[in-house]
Amino acid sequence: MRLRDIDDFLIFKGTIGWSRKSARGYADALRAFFGYAAKCGWCKPDIGEGITSPRIYAQEGLPEGPEWKDVQRLLKATKGNSAAALRARAVLFLLAVYGLRSGEISRLLLSDFDWRSETFTVNHSKRGGAQKYPLLREVGDAILEYIQKARPRCSCRNLFLTLKPPYRAIGGSALWKITSRGMQAVGIRCRRRGPHCLRHACATHLLEQGASLKEIGDLLGHRDFRSTSIYAKVHLQQLRRVADFDLGGLL
């Protein structure tokens, strides 16, 4: 193991979407491990001492995502009849319209959808617990088309599956590729291109439309009001009170 190997690893993770905060956490952990390894005589002491953590800048934690007009272009451009295209379209609709997290997408089951009442249930990653959402027609149509034409027939009951056997629930890496490739295909320029940037775009769009922070937090499944209030720093001038929240006005 060389120090250059660790530097290359952290640089590579940055190219596939890691934030500086994530890279800093891993660098700190690696520095501690190699410091211990050097005391045990497993490696040279200069490896741990040479690992540097990325600098975290002020306000770096502010949410960042594409403009809503670009999100609309992304959704309209996701076409095709291949299994990959049908899966990508359904995934992108759920990410953009409801602001779901990657883990929440991965855990969705076929049984979470009540087609008669036009609702679906999400098990939140951080807040915990289940929450029911209204299923918008365009989103429902995209999901239904994926199930009928593209989803493999297998014993796994997760909604979104891998394209090749052994079939299993889709993971975070595949979700990142779906989002990143879709944004790149339509020319969306954004420093972050993973699923979370569509979550930020959803929240910012709702704020621009006049939704309250509580309403946005309820939709996104935030446990703490402070998690939602960060969006006020991004579009503080557009924050205003509203009486009703119309989910149907998202698209």
The active-site residue, picked from 101, 107, 151, 192, is 101
Check if 205 is active-site: no
Q: Is 158 helix (H, G, I), strand (E, B) or coil?
A: strand
Check if 200 is active-site: no
The active-site residue, picked from 89, 107, 200, 222, is 222
The active-site residue, picked from 107, 199, 200, 205, is 199
Check if 4 is active-site: no
Q: 233-238, long-range: CB within 8 Å, 24+ apart, which pairs?
A: 233/59, 233/62, 234/62, 234/63, 234/204, 234/207, 235/204, 235/207, 235/208, 238/207, 238/208
The active-site residue, picked from 126, 181, 214, 235, is 126
Give dist(CA 52, CA 59) in Å, integer: 21
Check if 101 is active-site: yes
Query: Please, are residues 88 and 95 in contact by the beta-carbon 8 Å criterion?
Result: no
The active-site residue, picked from 124, 196, 200, 205, is 196
Q: Both tokens of residue 170?
A: 């889709």
Check if 231 is active-site: yes
Check if 199 is active-site: yes
**Where in the sequence numbering do the catalytic residues fall?**
101, 126, 196, 199, 222, 231
